[in-house]
Amino acid sequence: MRIDAIYARQSIEKRDSISIESQIEMCKRAADPDAAVYRDAGYSGKNTQRPAFTQLMDDVCAGKIKRVFCYRLDRISRSVLDFSLLWQVFDANHVDFVSVTESFDTNSPMGRAMIMIIITFAQLERETIVGRYTINRYARSNAGIWAGGKPPYGFEIQKIDWNGKHQSILSPIPEKIQVVQDIFSAYTSATVSLYSLAKQLNRKGIKFNDDYWNATAVRRLLKNPVYVCADVDIYSFYYNNAEIINDVHDFDGSHAAYLTVKGGKSSAGHRTLSLAYHQGVVSSSVFITAQNMLSQNKQLKNGHRSSFTWLSGLLKCHKCGGRINVFQNKGLTYFQCYKRFHQAGSCDAKIHGNSLRYESYVEDAIQNRIDTIVKNNSTEDVPNQQLNDMKIQLLENERQINNLVEALKIGGAAAMRSIQNELQALEAEHERITNEITAMQPVHKVPNGLAVIDFAKLDYDSKRDVARMMIDKILVGDDSPIQIIWK
């Protein structure tokens, strides 16, 4: 009875692939449950001198193996010549070969035809990895260094010896870094505007470089990746709008990053992101939450603001679904159906009482909702390593797709058909990984910090922001209770 074999390999630098355990995990989904596992930790794919691999080939020749599974072809071999020799051994022993992420199986005629094409790409890729590594080292030796100028808030310049030269790096000032972390956590808890954050800091007597804080200073600080622990998520975040100097594998979540803009302001200039020498002080998830909120905030600012009630904008007439007018009388705020007063006869909804009643009702409902969500959302974090691996795999898959697209451009008509098939398979794989990542990621319905909110105690702006974040609309009318439609 022949069995399945799973082969996993990872080289010492760990920069060329996902972890051995994740490789095995992926193969297990495709292989028989009793598959034998062969692991080579710390061996490169440049040659075949690897203990587990030698054992595997012995077992293949002894007729014990039915199919060989690996996460990617280059786990078996990075050399075209080696692989074509190995393939002859597999073939002679009627062993099929399955690469689980490249969606091909030598059991199929197409799989066989694909072998040489993929092997060529594997070779190509190894060459690019070598090239990139050299560039990296160059970049790293330069980019970790502070380019000069006034250090960002929270840091001072420290001189170090670098290849015999005096160079500057950023060194954190602990009590100021604490302020930075407080600003990030206060902002992402969705309860404060930039303006009120600045006000709070000034009230506490905290100085911004011998000056007072203002909304712009807070905004700039929140946007600066010089504070973030740069991991794969940060890499992806900047992927489309900056040139990233370092390799994705260097984004291991420990170092911070510099974002520099050359030749023109903000969006017009050429942006580069490079890893810094110093360690990050804010987690990537908090940082990205802040970026998303900052861009949302920008949109909100342009919207119409009513100073009468934080419910405005959310209220709709229960009867006609139309907008609600807000007006003031003797210091109290009242509502009326817009149509009822402006298009006589089209709606007859009467809305009783002043805004206080509605506000306190919505306040209670929001507090209940927060409590429930927080209770049901006890943060069950996915193993970080596994998620990071999946993301790296996704980026590698994207790179393979790009490779194939390039090959399609230059390849002749004959190559066309098979490459197109492979492309389809890669795209299907892309979708699968994306779905898996989505399923693995904890759903953050609740922004960080919402757990401790006492909604009734928030200020006007914060109540409005939280309400808009959670509520789609609130229906009000005379013959029905207030009805909240949640997002």
DSSP 93: T
Does 476 help bind Zn ion (rule: CB under 5 A)? no
Choices 4-12, 90-98, 225-233, 316-324; region in contact with Zn ion by CB under 5 A: 316-324
* Beta carbon of residue 320, minimum distance to Zn ion (angstroms, whole number): 3
* Per-residue x/- track, 267-306, Zn ion (CB under 5 A): ----------------------------------------
User: Can you tell me which of 122, 317, 419, 466 binds Zn ion, judged by CB under 5 A?
Assistant: 317
Nearest CB to Zn ion, comparing residues 261 and 320: 320
Choices 167-175, 196-204, 329-337, 429-437; region in contact with Zn ion by CB under 5 A: 329-337
* Beta carbon of residue 319, minimum distance to Zn ion (angstroms, whole number): 5
How many Å apart are CA 433 and CA 444, to the nearest integer?
20
Nearest CB to Zn ion, comparing residues 259 and 320: 320
* Beta carbon of residue 340, minimum distance to Zn ion (angstroms, whole number): 5
* Beta carbon of residue 335, minimum distance to Zn ion (angstroms, whole number): 11
Nearest CB to Zn ion, comparing residues 18 and 317: 317
Nearest CB to Zn ion, comparing residues 339 and 391: 339
Residue 239 amino acid letter: Y
Nearest CB to Zn ion, comparing residues 243 and 348: 348
Does 316 help bind Zn ion (rule: CB under 5 A)? no
Does 337 help bind Zn ion (rule: CB under 5 A)? yes
Does 475 help bind Zn ion (rule: CB under 5 A)? no
Choices 237-245, 314-322, 401-409, 437-445; region in contact with Zn ion by CB under 5 A: 314-322
Residues binding Zn ion: what is the number (CB under 5 A)? 7
3-class secondary structure per residue, the chain: CCEEEEEEEECCCCCCCCCHHHHHHHHHHHCCCCCEEEEEECCCCCCCCCHHHHHHHHHHHCCCEEEEEECCHHHHCCCHHHHHHHHHHHHHCCCEEEECCCCEECCCHHHHHHHHHHHHHHHHHHHHHHHHHHHHHHHHHHHCCCCCCCCCCCEEEEEEEECCEEEEEEEECHHHHHHHHHHHHHHHCCCCCHHHHHHHHHHCCCCECCECCCHHHHHHHHHCHHHECCCHHHHHHHHCCCEECCCHHHCCCCEEEEEEEECCCHHHCEEEEEEEEEECCECHHHHHHHHHHHHHHHHHHHCCCCCCCCCCCCEEECCCCCEEEEEEECCEEEEEEHHHHHCCCCCCCCCCCEHHHHHHHHHHHHHHHHHHHHHHCCCCCCCHHHHHHHHHHHHHHHHHHHHHHHHHHHCCHHHHHHHHHHHHHHHHHHHHHHHHHHHHCCCCCCCCCHHHCCHHHCCHHHHHHHHHHHEEEEEEECCEEEEEEEC
User: Can you tell me which of 319, 391, 464, 468 binds Zn ion, judged by CB under 5 A?
Assistant: 319
User: Can you tell me which of 36, 80, 169, 320 binds Zn ion, judged by CB under 5 A?
Assistant: 320
Choices 51-59, 232-240, 309-317, 406-414; region in contact with Zn ion by CB under 5 A: 309-317
Nearest CB to Zn ion, comparing residues 134 and 343: 343
Does 433 help bind Zn ion (rule: CB under 5 A)? no
Q: Write out the binding residues for Zn ion, residues 339-368 only, by CB under 5 A.
A: 339, 347, 349
Choices 39-47, 86-94, 220-228, 334-342; region in contact with Zn ion by CB under 5 A: 334-342
Choices 259-267, 301-309, 319-327, 414-422; region in contact with Zn ion by CB under 5 A: 319-327
Choices 48-56, 326-334, 338-346, 443-451; region in contact with Zn ion by CB under 5 A: 338-346
Residues that bind Zn ion (CB under 5 A): 317, 319-320, 337, 339, 347, 349
